[in-house]
Structure 1
Amino acid sequence: MSKTYETERLIIKLVDIDDAEFLLKLLNTEKWLKNIGDRNVHNLEDAQRYVREKNLPQIERLGFGNAVVILKSNNEKIGTVGLYDREGIDGVDIGFAFLEEYEGKGYAYEAAKKIMDIGINEFDIKKVSAITLPENFSSIKLIEKLGLKFKEVVRIPNDTEDLNLYELTM
């Protein structure tokens, strides 16, 4: 994912330090905090550190990771999507988060489907996993629409929540 990718309505580009201000906003939305958790990103400096310490190392190591989703129509950043090398998860973990005003418009599916296709075709990924809270019905719906099937309830290292694990093996 060293370049920018496009879908019909979206531009998908790997996160860089210039995205810190957007990530500060996204990571502090009510839905992010409820469904993903507090990442201790409370100011611009925290957001820049988050990009440097959490996002860039995986991108540099694997060539893929967290990406910003941008509307083609107006260049507005609306969410993130990515494939993550997550401890405790077999295969790569697909994840997505969008600002609430852009939910329910098909953007998350469009971006996640593209990222999955890139992972499979360009990085030869053989298994895509996803984790979510059992009550996060909108994420479950999207995960299942992407073709992943429920496998089991898991708990990832350093987390206290039971999560639903979904998988798709190519």
Structure 2
Amino acid sequence: MAADPDLLADPAELAVKLGRPANDPKLLTALRQAARRFRGQVGHRVTHVADDVVTLDGNGRESILLPVWPTTAVARVVLEGVDLVEGTDYAWSDAGILRRLGGLWWPDRLRCLQVTYSHGFPDEDIPGDVQEVVLERAEAGMLPVGVQSKAVGGQSVTLGAQATAGSTEAWSKTVAKYKVRASGDV
């Protein structure tokens, strides 16, 4: 994976595809722009964030989804001003499920729950599908405007209008997979 976690993909992989050095400023700019675009569309960093504080609406159910997964830790859960106890009042999973224990349900009230949790992928473990679409978008961003085909080092690549616009099917599916979730999605 990339030494720079802001890139979400390894510049060396893009460099090989494009026949450029991995430290080429244009290549790094294209990769940075693609990562920013991905993060903007999913609504979170993707990489690990420690002790993020979110205020959630209750859903009247036993389980609620935290907005970003994977969940790596839940440090604090406050329900209507009262601190809850892990293992007694709630349990959580890596998938970002926060479950009320003891036969209780989360109240069906707006902004009643505050959760401090850590989430995201370690820098060295960004999912392959995220890396692939970021690399694809960065590669498309390296093509001159209006170019849909380019040959480099005996390899030829043809990109349709969708690829040059950054809205390939793979991009759309990957964004949908990692997008911030609403608490009512359980």
Q: TM-score, normalised by structure 1?
A: 0.26
User: Larger Cα Rg: Structure 1 or Structure 2?
Assistant: 2
Whose RCO is larger (CA < 8 A, sep 6+)?
A: 2
Q: TM-score, normalised by structure 2?
A: 0.24
